[in-house]
Amino acid sequence: MATIVPAILERTKEGFLEKLSKVLKLPGLQRIQVDFGDGSFIENKLLPPSEMDALNPAFHWEAHLMIKSPVDFLDYQICGFKTIIVHYEAYASSDDLQKALSKIKAMGFKTSVAINPDTSVEVLKDIDSDQYLIMSVVPGKQGQAFIEASLDRIKQLRSLKPRAIIEVDGGVNETNIKSIALAGADLICAGSALVKAADINQAYENLLKEIQ
């Protein structure tokens, strides 16, 4: 069964802690994703890891770097992140991406490579990573509508990398999460569907029911 990964996208520490307090109450929670943005790769400048406190080691924390050419990952290590997600589009060349992935792995992280909706899935064919992430919205803002063509992209990636861990991020809700899981996703990020819900526990339960 696919795993639901709550995602937190925040500009301020106060906002982050408020959302985190809701997320941490979810039953059976395993993984949490935190979004980071530099105001360049995406227009939003989000809370940097240097302003975060140490993370609870009971959970698997993913850092989603919507950042141009990231090469310094020390602050994420200090916080306690376990997986670093970088974007294929963030680097000038595949060479630069591979160097970054090697550095991430050498620091003890799991690696993940994300691709934007307009990037061909084929670019991932020769990239070796622990995980791969299909963006099902344009990155940078929560609350966007799921791009339906993403379902075919998930299937294509599953065909390309049969044993890979595939994550999907963007526009996930009760009406599409089952289709996302059936297309081949192992990890499904839910942002607005959870953190903006009137009752986060009920929203989480409703999502779980769809994929069980």
Active site positions, annotated = 35, 169
Distance CA 150, CA 137 (A): 9
Contact assessment for residue 72 and residue 100, using Cβ atoms and an 8 Å cutoff: no
Distance CA 132, CA 88 (A): 10
Give backbone dihedrals phi and psi of 71, rounded to 5 degrees, phi first.
Answer: -130, -10
The phi-psi region of residue 39 (left if phi > 0; otherwise alpha if psi is between -120 and 50; otherwise beta) is left
Contact assessment for residue 127 and residue 88, using Cβ atoms and an 8 Å cutoff: yes
206 membership: H or E segment, kind and range: helix 200-211
Q: Which of 78, 60, 58, 42 is nearest to 6 (CA)?
A: 60
Distance CA 123, CA 91 (A): 13
